[in-house]
Amino acid sequence: MKRIIFILSIILYSGALFTQEKPQVYDPATDAKAEVTAAIKKASTEQKHVFLFIGGNWCPWCVRLDAYIIDDPQLDSLMRANYEVVKVNYSKENKNLELLKELGAPQRFGFPVLVILDDNGKLIHTQNSLYLEKGKSYDRSRIWEFLLGWNYKAVRPENQKDYK
């Protein structure tokens, strides 16, 4: 009898593992173009840039990068202080191809891919996230440098040492 209970427990437990929902970072139903437009408008009034996380819930690296930044209070704070963030879904349900075409097809780098727009909506950088990885995770210092290097103040001509 103990053996049967033990086997049933294992079956129930393993079933629970497989039915756990995956994190839903990206929403396929969201109008990404409208969200980007709203973020640009807000960024222009707050002297920020727009940070686009492009990926999908099907992509473990996409979900991992989102959690990596959110779970690090300093990275999360740096991100929110300098960027209006939009998560752009790319999945079989909604690839947002019209927006991605306007952004120069950043999906060519794989996922997740990061895109920085200035406060007027002009594309200023596309980042292959591979260069932010270290082993089976992300590299905090690379992400930190990336966030600092592409924020509003960093790219202003008046802040460049050799601009004049």
Q: Using one digit for the tens of pLDDT, what is the confidence trace for 22-59? A: 679 999 999 999 999 999 999 999 999 999 999 999 99
Residues 6+ apart with CB under 8 A from 115: 51, 52, 54, 103, 106, 123, 125, 126, 127
Sheet strands (E) in the chain: 49-55, 83-89, 113-117, 123-128, 133-134, 137-138
Give the C-alpha separation, 22 to 15, whole Å.
15
For residue 10, being part of any structural domain is answered with no
Assigned domain for 34 exists: yes
Looking at the domain assignment, is residue 14 inside a domain? Answer: no
pLDDT digits 0-9 by tens, 66-98: 999 999 999 999 999 999 999 999 999 999 999
- Domain limits for position 133: 22-154
Contact 139, 127 (CB under 8 A): no
Does residue 8 lie within any of the structural domains?
Answer: no
Residue 161 counted as domain residue: no
CATH number at residue 53: 3.40.30.10
Q: For position 5, what pLDDT does the model report? A: 57
Q: What is the mean pLDDT of the chain?
A: 90
Residues 6+ apart with CB under 8 A from 28: 56, 89, 91, 93, 94
25, 57 in Cβ contact below 8 A?
A: yes
Q: Give the CA angle between residues 146, 68, 143 to the nearest 5°.
A: 10
The reply to whether 12 falls in a domain is no
Inside any domain, residue 122: yes
Domain count, the chain: 1
Residue 11 falls inside a structural domain? no
Per the DSSP assignment, residues forming a β-bridge with 113 are 54, 128
